[in-house]
Chains A and B, each alone.
Chain A
Amino acid sequence: MPDRGRRRAAIRDELVTLSHGAGGKATRDLVEALFVHELGNDALAPLGDSAVLAGIEGRLALTTDAYVVRPLSFPGGDIGELAVNGTVNDLAVVGARPLWLTAGFVLEEGFPISELRGLVGTMAAAARAAGVAVAAGDTKVVERGRADGLYVTTAGVGVLDHGLALTPAAVQPGDRVLLSGTLADHGMAVMLARGELALESEIESDTAPVHELAASLVRLGDELRWMRDPTRGGLATALNELVAASGLTVRIDEAALPVRPAVAAACEILGIDPLYVANEGKLIAVVAPGAEERALAALRTHATGSESVAIGTVEAVGADDEPFVLLDTALGGARIVDLMVGDPLPRIC
């Protein structure tokens, strides 16, 4: 960073104060000594009103997501990592190569600077791991009691290096539904990390970028139909969205659904269906039937996809019928997997 003769920025405060959001010296110190120090890159460093990004050719993908998880840190991750991976994954599943992120922080007065530095640090590490750079950012501070410590909003830009249209309209009867690993790890890890349930376990969030998994499926060409990361609302919600948008039924096999034993046990005790619990490092893909084995092999070459499995099939809907997500139960019965009705589950992402 070129030094134009200003004093070197440093933060002496231990806690975030309203002056850190006032736009003056304290704001500059926080931005330079903490955010730029941790996240620094060529696009962010000039600290202009906008980052100017050069040399992107092709269709762009643009997404944004807000993160309000409580607690801010949980086994397997924290809000900083989540805010990068979540947005990277939203780009990845439309077939884009993630390039740039922005990050907006709403800080509550009194938030410890050291904790903020830790969270921005994991954010930086997650960005490096996902091959993206945080090119622009903003910080606001609100009075104590007006926010829950820290909220983060990230936006992301990615580029599509191919001509595929990965939309529900591309999905056809007979296509196979693949899942890149176990269900419900993130949601249950966060729920238990709140310490309100008097349950102890070693469940860890699965937060991870899925861009490499997605890129390896994009290489299948038009045998790849559609992808989604099953975050809030879980697998059930993502598949219901596919059913609603495609007009086709998706039939999944309960016995094929991978759930870690500790997660299954926690869900059982709390009466929660793992189908509806959030994942933060998983991918659902619909592929042509002939590409199933190649797709699974490609996914399994990555550590985050080593437990990939086929979980179901897309089916046509009869003339007088309506499309559903159907589950063949392990016992040989069948049932609908409907959209969840707004149960008051805790904030998990």
Chain B
Amino acid sequence: MRFVDEYRDPAVARALSAEIHALVADTGTVRIMEVCGGHTHAIYRHGLEDLLPPEIELVHGPGCPVCVIPMGRVDDAIAIAETGGVTLATFGDMMRVPGGRGSLLEAKARGADVRMVYSPLDALALARREPDRHVCFFAIGFETTAPATAITLRRAREEGAANFSVFCNHVLIEPPLRAILETPGLRVDAFVGPGHVSSVIGSDRYSFIPEEYGRPVVVSAFEPVDLLQAIAMLVRQRAEGRCEVENQYTRVVRPDGNPRALEAIAETMEERDDFEWRGVGVLPRSALRVREPFARWDAERLFTIPGARIEDPKACRCGEVLTGQIKPWECGVFGTACTPEQPLGTCMVSSEGACAAYFSYGRARRRREEAPVGA
């Protein structure tokens, strides 16, 4: 497969692994958070931790867009889906996420019309095909997916779509990063910056991390060779006493991002005063809502939305996992009360979540890590 195989080349991976092994001799332990759930998934899928020296500790961050949606918002989506004549369209991985009243998949089984789509434009097309129903798109995701929602809102306006709306849950990457960086006892020395988000917002937007918090960032693509190179770049910064934003994903990410995508977001959406993040809490100015000129297509204005807040379960320690203070398996409910089939906390919800990735792919490795020395 062209444009993929070259980034999965075992020989290149081995060379980067050797480079990292050599660099950590100078730096000692480096705790690196990969912010993005796509990175977490790739690290586990390709078994990358086996190529890293023990001095490199990976902390899996909050960048899984499905995981961060609070349970109350899932209930809101279910309430919309259960409104007569309404079809709720959403991405497949959102279907299984539990709210306080079960998941969308369960709501569908009870009779709600919930359908899986691959893009918001597909949802708008569905509305066009079924003029007797109202199609509401359950929009989730960081700045990565917001432009597609923005373009769909523009098109809905152009078409004068009368039976389409967006339930907007788009979130922003900077607020949770700041929340993590300000956590007392934070155990993260460096960051692998998200790739897809950065293609929209640009790599320059992370300059606050080295400048205000003294930690380096390398924006990375998603293939294993990319991630190894990004880790090597971070360790090299440390070895050379540098602390800055670097861009490994130069084939896509520009310093100033994608101006047209940013323009589309700015035209159709604005920051909310605050938004609740599952496992993290309420963060000010951390999410987007539909702007007034697009009110006709804003589900929050069209429907009566319960808007109830549902506390994360007490036993869940996702917050500490997300800030690197504990490993997934150190949480008391990991793998027992909290599994990918019955997730309690955000990190177990999607395969991009730290705990779910660890549960599904990494359990065998833990045995080696925990084995007594010499065993």
Contact = CB atoms under 8 A, between A and B. Distances in A.
Contacts of B116: 344
B46 A336 contact: no
A83 B348 CA distance: 37
B16 to A, nearest CB: 10
B138 interface: no
B50 interface: yes
Nearest to A325: B364
Interface in A311-349: 321, 324, 326-336, 338, 341-344
Nearest to B351: A341
Given A321-B367, A343-B92, A331 B1 contact: no
Given A344-B96, A344-B105, A333 B49 contact: yes
Given A324-B363, A342-B96, A344-B105, A332 B14 contact: yes
A331 B51 contact: yes
A264 interface: yes
A2 interface: no
B47 A335 contact: yes
Interface residues of B, dominant DSSP: helix
A331 B13 contact: yes
B114 to A, nearest CB: 9
B361 A336 contact: yes
B363 A336 contact: yes
A330 B10 contact: yes
A334 B50 CA distance: 7
Interface residues of B, number: 35
A334 B47 contact: yes
B362 A332 contact: no
A138 interface: no
A163 interface: no
Interface string B341-367: 100000000010000000111111101
Given A321-B367, A342-B96, A331 B361 contact: no
A171 to B, nearest CB: 20
Nearest to B117: A196
Given A336-B361, A338-B360, A341-B341, 7 more contacts: A329-B47, A331-B224, A332-B17, A333-B46, A333-B48, A341-B340, A343-B96
8 contacts: A196-B118, A328-B47, A330-B10, A331-B46, A331-B224, A333-B46, A335-B46, A344-B96
